[in-house]
């Protein structure tokens, strides 16, 4: 395999795709290399992704139920969705979650990563601790939170009580159920934090030294050096965070036993999709939901990508 | 003089902040461990107790007998290790191509890569299953391992972001020396991206280690089952064996913690530009 | 610096892959040639005592049928796992020969044509409705065809804490029988501080207090199998939901929800911790109580009705089915027949402590002599099964939503139940 790759050695410059200003007209050799390097994934896409994706588009125009192929009904599934009350409710819930969770996860994630990047003794232990909640199985997390948030004897309201605040009913209240979930999800922030840490590690030390020479304050260094150079990974976590938030499923599903209680305030988009697909035998309907979700996330991601030209700075340029 | 005093203050407050935050993040894990050591009647007492009394170490022994723990452990390890190897080999290569090479169709391919993550797997998992069924892989761990060797979109995207940050000057210099593209990737770029490669490997390891739905669908023989399927066996209509379940969870978590503990150093190590430039 | 180490690592990875692929492909060959001879593949989701019980059934069956070999596989069937595995296996044309299956879903799956009809085989073997409780047989059939052999059942009753009764001056030996008495007792038993319950007397929808139970107890009905009419908005059902809504308002729905939504089952059950004095639960709740608080002094009694008579309840339970495309149908049927027979039922029920679908088995196992179990068994002849229809899951979720919405003041009970009727009727028509 190695030999195959050792063919072309043409010089070329590579601006990021985000910044395609100076494209070279010389493509020949490098283009082949590009395809060769990307070939495993392109083959993988064709083998493991193409068929399932195209099938699900087709299903979305049928009454497919997994157990029977169903019949072609054109756009009926999509039309029916427009007048489905729970569909809209689940959209509202999902957007609510995403709007609060994604920015919060970025702010808290970056802050934590910066804390964990300090040169302090015992950092290995601290880092491991912050990573721990990600490792606890979901079933256990769900139960633990129900227990912590119990209005009667839960730890959270106990602490609030001690400082003179009467805590809300958290998971039992239509108003507080989603904030509770956001809180829980922020707990498992270990993965983005590691990515930020790796990103921080990439920032050349000289830049800080230079800033020190210029007499920059900590705040200035943070906003003029750290954050700008962290934008490639912030960008990554923003995109992945948005995709993940819109597909929120396991934790609320486990916690409410799939019921989305109280009063459907925890029925998220993919939970409703799942019920349609696997409980009501409406895989066609569920597929239509999936493709609507696709369009929504796609638009959002497009906005992020287009705007990223303004705020994402790659060192490698 | 003064800046030094300030720095000391900063450091102390940093320690303090870290300590408080750690306490918060430590709760779920402590709870898991403490539950794993409690007798069944003590798990949800009112008011809650954090420290088991007495310590019921026998939960661990019982748990490994309740399910064939060691069989599941070795199955999980095999699947996880191979699929992690797959990702570590394939994803940086593809990501490098997306980040540093110029080729026709690159942008389109990259957009497709991101796009395939936007479709919830709940609707693609049936056709994917039918596909694997057709080629006779259902009932083997292959559907859980082989796709990783062709790349995982999440990891490709992440790796690409890191490669984007590597300076082109390095590459250009190597070009002048007459190095081939693969040589540049293998000997210069890949070693530089080591922290990211390790992070990607770690994530893949974790995801596969705890994956539930994949093994559920594709493994049909109990002797092939993984630990996450084993965890389910502690739940029944008559209630959950929380003590035993948490004992298995704890044992299941330990390898990842150890792995993480020894790997985390590389994340800050970062890329030492100074030595290369 | 450590570049060379890293490189070596990568090369050794490559090596491992080659080994891996070789190992995997040989693995495949080994697995390809299983199910030979007269093997019956059986998927079930039973662990714990039920798991032991099913093992005993299989053992006995194999002893009596030495030429048939049962290959039992545990398949998670809870939470996220639901029935995905069986679904995909049937869709892929590679199902097991027998599957342990929630009777509630038989109609929906049968309508999809994914279960083998058993009517003929059952007739030949002399198995008929007379062998089983009526509701169990009904749930196992769809449009005049039998699709499942019932194996277990359950029922729901009112559990009450005798110590609490005594504490507040109620007679622990005469629990409430009418709705009024129930309300009165609940009020006496409740201790509320601010918006928090130290202890709550009763919550209609807690535990197994699903709306089906209340509808029937109030004299309502949900479905007419002859005309296919959905009657979620039956006047008596509306009455039941109105009562639940009033109850919620009186105690503060949010406060109740804060209490219930952070509780669980099993060890987390507030009935175990003495935070709730009365609850609706099934016989399976008994095992949990014995396990988590064996000393709890409690009793069970039929769910109160407005009039204090005509007690009723509803029952679910499990069965064994033969998925469409099963390879070894004859062997499968032999096993299903045995599991559903008096002999198989006795073995299973004795170990699992689940109720049998055969009355005589429950009697012979002494369930009718146990003061707690007897109450559950005695109500079985009056029990209902949830509507046997293709949209059972939708109906269930829609009713749960209607209760949530009504008690929280999102529309009146009547409106919400009318919406359920509409929604389920529409889905049935499709």
**ipTM for this prediction:** 0.89
C410 vs chain B: nearest CA distance in angstroms? Answer: 31
* Mean pLDDT (chain C, rounded): 87
Other chains touching C, judged by 3 or more CB pairs under 8 Å: A, B
Q: Which of B56, B77, B92 is the last residue of a domain?
A: B56
Co-location of C331 and C218 in the same domain? no
The answer to whether B213 contacts chain A (CB < 8 Å) is: no
Domain of A172, CATH number, reads 1.10.3720.10
Nearest CA of chain B to the CA of C382: how many Å?
A: 24
Q: Which of B96-105, C153-162, C189-198, C207-216 is predicted with the least confidence, judged by mean pLDDT? A: C189-198
Give every CB contact of residue A51 below 8 A, 6+ residues apart in sequence.
Answer: B127, B128, B131
Both C72 and C49 in one domain: the answer is: yes
Whether residues C125 and C270 share a domain: the answer is: no
Judge if B30 and B76 occupy the same domain. Answer: no
What residues pair up with C160 in beta bridges, in sequence order?
Answer: C278, C299
Closest to B236 (Cβ–Cβ): which among C24, C47, C275?
Answer: C47
Q: What is the pLDDT of residue C267?
A: 65
A43 domain-assigned: no
Q: Which residues contact C412 (CB under 8 A, 6 or more apart)?
A: C406
* pLDDT at C17 > cutoff 80: no
Q: Is residue B269 part of a domain?
A: yes
Q: Which chain B residues have a beta carbon less than 8 Å from that of C14? A: 89
Q: Are residues B38 and B91 in the same domain?
A: no
**pLDDT bracket for residue A122 (50, 70, 90):** confident
pLDDT at C3 over 80: no
Q: A278–C84: do the CB atoms touch at under 8 Å? A: yes
pLDDT on residue B24: 86
- Are C322 and C304 in a shared domain? no
Give me the mean pLDDT over the C402-409 stretch.
92
- Assess whether C280 and C360 both reside in one domain: no
**B214 and B154 in a common domain:** yes
Q: Does residue C202 share a domain with residue C76?
A: no
**Would residue A63 count as lying in a domain?**
no
- Percent of chain A clearing pLDDT 70 (strictly above): 90
Nearest CA in chain A to B34: A144
Contacts of B112 in chain A (CB under 8 A): 45
How much is the pLDDT for A2? 36
**In terms of pLDDT, which residue wins out, B40 or C385?**
C385
pLDDT above 70 as % of chain C: 88
Q: How far is C30 from chain B (nearest CA, A)?
A: 10
- Domain membership of residue A288 (yes or no) is yes
Q: Which residues of A touch C (CB under 8 A)?
A: 63, 65-68, 139, 143, 146-147, 149-152, 154, 166, 168-174, 177, 250, 253-254, 257-259, 261-264, 275, 278-281
Residue C105, pLDDT > 60, answer: yes
Between chains, do A66 and C91 touch, taking CB under 8 Å as contact?
A: yes
Mean pLDDT value across residues C321-329: 93
Same-domain pairing of B132 and B253: yes
Within an 8 Å CB–CB cutoff, is residue A243 touching chain B?
yes
Whether chain A has a CB inside 8 Å of the CB on B173: the answer is no
Q: Residue A13: pLDDT band by 50, 70, 90 thresholds?
A: very low
DSSP-derived letter for residue A45 is I
Shared domain check, C398 and C307: yes
Q: Do B126 and A131 touch (CB under 8 A)?
A: no
Nearest CB partner across the interface for A315, out of B106, B165, B179 = B165
Instruction: Determine whether the interchain pair B109/A38 forms a contact, defined as Cβ–Cβ distance below 8 Å.
Output: yes
Say if A213 is an interface residue toward chain B (CB within 8 Å).
no
Q: Is residue B152 part of a domain?
A: yes
Question: Per mean pLDDT, which of B129-143, B184-198, C33-47, C250-264 is the most reliable?
Answer: B129-143
Identify whether residues B234 and B128 lie together within a single domain: yes
Picking from B38, B56, B74, the residue at the C-terminal end of a domain is B56
Residues B239 and B105 in one domain: yes
B239 pLDDT above the threshold of 80: no
Q: H/E element holding C72?
A: strand C69-74
**Yes or no, beta carbons of A264 and C84 under 8 Å apart:** no
Per-residue model confidence as pLDDT tens digits over C127-183: 999 989 999 999 999 999 999 999 999 999 999 999 999 999 999 999 999 999 999
CATH number at residue B214: 1.10.3720.10
Neighbours of C9 (CB within 10 A): 12
Taking only the tens place, the pLDDT of each residue in A214-248 is: 888 888 989 988 999 899 999 999 999 999 999 99
Residue B232 located in a structural domain: yes
Q: Are residues B10 and B77 in the same domain?
A: no
Predicted confidence (pLDDT) at residue B190 exceeds the cutoff of 80: yes
| CA B201 distance to own-chain centroid | 7
Residue C101 within a domain? yes
Inter-chain contact A236–B157, Cβ cutoff 8 Å?
Answer: yes
Find the mean pLDDT for residues C338-356: 94
Rounded mean pLDDT, A246-265:
88
Q: Which backbone phi and psi does B65 adopt, to 5 degrees?
A: -95, -25
Distance from CA of C89 to the nearest CA of A (A): 10
Residue B45 resides in a domain:
yes
Give tens-digit pLDDT for A129-174. 998 998 888 878 888 888 788 777 778 888 888 888 888 888 888 8
User: Degrees (nearest 5) of the Cα angle B182, B183, B186?
Assistant: 85
Q: Which residues of C touch A65 (CB under 8 A)?
A: 112
* Residue ranges making up the domain that contains A162: 79-311
pLDDT of residue C261: 62
A62 part of a folded domain? no
- Report yes or no on A52 lying in a domain: no
Nearest residue in chain C measured CA to CA from B192: C3
pLDDT in tens, A72-110: 999 999 999 999 999 999 999 999 999 999 999 999 999
Contact indicator for B249, A136 with CB cutoff of 8 Å? yes
- Beta-sheet strands, E only, within C154-307: 156-161, 191-193, 196-199, 223-224, 229-230, 278-282, 298-301
Domain C-terminal end among B37, B56, B75: B56
Q: What is the pLDDT of residue B273?
A: 40
The predicted structure's pLDDT at residue C152: 94
SS3 state of residue C281 = strand
Residue B193: predicted pLDDT: 85
> What average pLDDT score do residues B171-198 get?
87
Per-residue pLDDT band for C30 (boundaries 50, 70, 90) equals: very low
Domain residues for the domain of B52 are 1-56
If you average pLDDT over residues C315-320, what whole number do you get?
A: 94
Q: Nearest-5° angle of CA C380, CA C384, CA C387?
A: 150
Residue B248, chain A, CB below 8 Å: the answer is no
| Number of domains present in the structure of chain A | 1
Cα–Cα nearest to A274, from A298, A240, A250: A250
Contact call for C394 and A68, based on CB within 8 A: no
Counting one residue from chain A and one from chain C, the pairs whose CB atoms sit within 8 A come to: 110
Specify if B238 maps to a domain: yes
Residues C234 and C368 in one domain: no
- B158 and chain A in contact, CB less than 8 A: yes
**In-domain check, residue B61:** no
Contact B41 C292 (CB under 8 A): yes
- CB proximity B66 to A under 8 Å: no
Q: What pLDDT does B185 receive? A: 92
pLDDT, average across residues C117-123: 95
pLDDT for res B47:
66
Asked if residue C84 and residue C111 are part of one domain, the reply reads: yes
Question: Which residues of A, range 93-152, sit inside 8 Å of B by Cβ?
Answer: 112, 115-118, 120, 124, 126-137, 139-141, 143-144, 147-148
Cα torsion C123, C125, C129, C131 to 10°: value is 170
pLDDT at A207: 86
How many domains in chain B?
Answer: 2
Please state the rounded mean pLDDT for residues C290-298. 87
B117 plus B141 within the same structural domain: yes
Considering Cα of A144, then A150, then A156, then A162, what sign does the dihedral take? negative
Question: Cβ of A143 and C264 within 8 Å?
Answer: yes
A146/C261 touch (CB, cutoff 8 Å), yes or no: yes
Q: Is residue A72 part of a domain?
A: no
Q: What is the pLDDT of residue C270?
A: 84
For residue A29, the model assigns a pLDDT of: 59
Neighbouring-strand partners of residue C197? C192
Answer yes or no: do B114 and B207 share one domain: yes
Distance from CA of A173 to the nearest CA of B (A): 22
Assigned domain for B257 exists? yes
B12 & B99 share domain: no
**B28 vs A51, residue with greater confidence:** A51
Cβ contact B182:A5 at 8 Å: yes
| Residue-number span of the structural domain to which C132 is assigned | 39-154+316-382
pLDDT-derived band at C31 (thresholds 50, 70, 90) equals: very low
Same domain, C280 and C408: yes
pLDDT recorded at residue C255:
82
* Structural domain total, chain C: 2
Average pLDDT of every residue of chain A: 85
- Smallest CA–CA distance from B156 into chain A, residue: A41
Domain co-membership, B142 together with B210: yes
- A60 pLDDT more than 60: yes
pLDDT grade, residue A14 (50/70/90)?
Answer: very low
3-state secondary structure of C70: strand
The answer to whether residue C22 is domain-embedded is no
- Give the nearest partner residue to C262 out of A63, A150, A264, using CB atoms: A150
- Give the confidence band of A316 by pLDDT, cuts at 50, 70, 90: low
**What is the reported pLDDT for B54?**
84
Neighbors of chain B by Cβ distance (3+ pairs < 8 Å): A, C
H-type alpha helices, C210-358: 211-217, 235-251, 253-260, 284-292, 329-340, 342-352
Let me know if residue C6 belongs to a domain. Answer: no
Question: Is B136 within a domain?
Answer: yes
- What is the pLDDT at residue A21? 39
CA A134, A137, A139, A144 dihedral sign is negative
Nearest CA-CA distance, residue B12 and chain C, Å: 34
């Amino acid at each position: 395999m190695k030999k195959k790759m050792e063919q072309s050695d043409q010089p070329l410059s590579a601006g990021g795709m985000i910044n395609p200003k100076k494209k070279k007209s010389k493509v020949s050799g490098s283009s082949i290399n590009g395809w060769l390097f990307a070939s495993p994934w392109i083959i993988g896409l064709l083998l493991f992704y193409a068929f399932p994706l195209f099938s699900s588009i087709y299903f979305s125009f049928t009454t497919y139920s997994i157990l029977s192929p169903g019949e072609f009904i054109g756009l009926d599934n999509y039309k029916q969705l427009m007048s489905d009350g729970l569909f809209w409710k689940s959209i509202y819930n999902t957007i609510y979650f995403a709007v609060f969770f994604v920015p919060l996860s970025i702010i808290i994630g970056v802050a934590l990563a910066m804390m964990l990047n300090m040169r302090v003794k015992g950092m290995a232990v601290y880092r491991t601790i912050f990573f721990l909640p990600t490792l606890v199985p979901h079933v256990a997390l769900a139960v633990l939170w129900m227990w912590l948030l119990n209005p009667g004897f839960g730890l959270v309201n106990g602490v609030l009580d001690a400082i003179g605040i009467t805590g809300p009913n958290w998971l039992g209240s239509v108003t507080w159920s989603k904030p509770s979930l956001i809180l829980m999800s922020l707990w498992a922030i270990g993965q983005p934090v590691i990515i930020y840490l790796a990103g921080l590690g990439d920032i050349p030390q000289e830049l800080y030294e230079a800033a020190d020479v210029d007499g920059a304050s900590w705040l200035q260094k943070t906003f003029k050096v750290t954050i700008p150079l962290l934008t490639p990974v912030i960008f990554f976590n923003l995109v992945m965070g948005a995709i993940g938030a819109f597909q929120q499923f396991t934790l609320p599903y486990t916690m409410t036993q799939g019921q989305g209680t109280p009063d459907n305030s925890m029925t998220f988009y993919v939970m409703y999709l799942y019920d349609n697909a696997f409980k009501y035998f409406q895989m066609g309907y569920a597929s239509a939901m999936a493709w609507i979700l696709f369009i929504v996330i796609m638009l959002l991601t497009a906005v992020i990508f287009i705007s990223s030209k303004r705020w994402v700075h790659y060192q490698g340029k | 003089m003064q800046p030094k005093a300030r720095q000391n203050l900063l450091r102390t407050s940093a320690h303090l902040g870290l300590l408080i935050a750690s306490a918060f993040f430590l709760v779920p894990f402590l709870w898991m461990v403490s539950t794993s050591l409690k007798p069944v009647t003590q798990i949800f007492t009112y008011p809650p107790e954090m420290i088991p009394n007495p310590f019921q170490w026998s939960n661990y022994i019982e748990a490994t007998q309740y399910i064939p723990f060691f069989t599941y452990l070795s199955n999980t390890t095999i699947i996880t290790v191979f699929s992690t190897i797959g990702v570590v080999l394939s994803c940086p290569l593809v990501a490098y191509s997306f980040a540093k090479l110029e080729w026709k169709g690159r942008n389109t391919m990259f957009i497709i890569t991101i796009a395939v993550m936007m479709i919830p797997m709940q609707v693609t998992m049936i056709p994917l299953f039918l596909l694997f069924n057709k080629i006779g892989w259902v009932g083997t761990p292959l559907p859980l391992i082989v796709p990783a060797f062709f790349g995982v979109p999440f990891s490709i995207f992440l790796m690409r972001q890191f490669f984007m940050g590597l300076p082109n000057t390095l590459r250009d210099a190597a070009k002048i020396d007459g190095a081939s593209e693969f040589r540049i990737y293998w000997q210069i770029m890949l070693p530089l991206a080591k922290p990211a490669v390790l992070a990607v490997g770690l994530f893949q390891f974790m995801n596969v280690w705890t994956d539930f739905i994949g093994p559920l669908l594709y493994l049909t023989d109990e002797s092939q089952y993984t630990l996450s399927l084993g965890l389910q066996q502690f739940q029944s209509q008559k209630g959950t064996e929380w003590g035993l379940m948490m004992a298995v969870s704890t044992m299941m978590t330990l390898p990842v913690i150890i792995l993480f503990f020894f790997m985390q150093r590389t994340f800050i190590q970062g890329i030492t530009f100074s030595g290369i430039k | 610096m450590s570049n060379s180490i890293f490189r070596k690592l990568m090369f050794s990875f490559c090596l491992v892959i080659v080994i891996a692929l070789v190992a995997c492909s040989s693995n495949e060959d080994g697995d390809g040639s299983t199910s030979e001879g007269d093997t019956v593949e059986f998927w079930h989701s039973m662990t714990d005592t039920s798991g032991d019980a099913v093992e005993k059934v299989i053992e006995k069956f194999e002893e009596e049928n030495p030429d048939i070999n049962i290959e039992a596989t545990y398949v998670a069937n809870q939470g996220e796992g639901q029935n995905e595995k069986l679904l995909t296996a049937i869709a892929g044309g590679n199902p097991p020969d027998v599957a342990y299956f929630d009777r509630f879903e038989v109609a929906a799956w049968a309508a999809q044509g994914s279960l083998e009809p058993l009517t003929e085989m059952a007739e030949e073997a002399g198995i008929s409705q007379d062998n089983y409780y009526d509701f169990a047989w009904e749930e196992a059939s769809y449009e005049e065809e039998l699709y499942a052999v019932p194996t277990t059942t359950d029922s729901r009753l009112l559990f009450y804490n005798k110590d609490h009764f005594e504490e507040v001056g109620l007679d622990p030996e005469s629990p409430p029988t009418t709705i009024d008495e129930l309300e009165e007792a609940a009020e006496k038993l409740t201790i509320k501080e601010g918006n928090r319950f130290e202890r709550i007397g009763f919550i209609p929808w807690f535990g197994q207090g699903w709306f089906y139970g209340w509808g029937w107890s109030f004299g309502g009905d949900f479905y007419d199998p002859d005309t296919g009419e959905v009657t979620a908005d039956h006047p008596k059902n509306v009455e039941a939901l109105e009562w639940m809504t009033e109850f919620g308002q009186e105690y503060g729905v949010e406060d109740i929800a804060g209490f219930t939504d952070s509780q669980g089952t099993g060890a987390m059950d507030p009935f175990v911790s003495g935070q709730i004095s009365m609850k609706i639960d099934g016989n399976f709740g008994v095992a949990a109580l014995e396990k988590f608080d064996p000393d709890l002094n409690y009793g069970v009694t039929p769910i109160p009705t407005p009039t204090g008579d005509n007690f009723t309840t509803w029952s679910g339970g499990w069965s064994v089915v033969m998925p469409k495309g099963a390879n070894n149908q004859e062997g499968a049927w032999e096993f299903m027949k045995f599991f559903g027979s008096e002999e198989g039922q006795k073995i299973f029920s004795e170990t699992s402590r689940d109720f049998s679908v055969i009355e005589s088995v429950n009697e012979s196992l002494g369930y009718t002599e146990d003061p707690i179990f007897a109450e559950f068994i005695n109500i079985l002849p009056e029990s209902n099964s949830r509507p046997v229809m293709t949209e059972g899951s939708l109906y269930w979720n829609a009713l749960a939503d209607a209760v949530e919405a009504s008690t929280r003041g999102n529309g009146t009970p009547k409106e919400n139940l009318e919406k359920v009727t509409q929604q389920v009727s529409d889905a049935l028509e499709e």
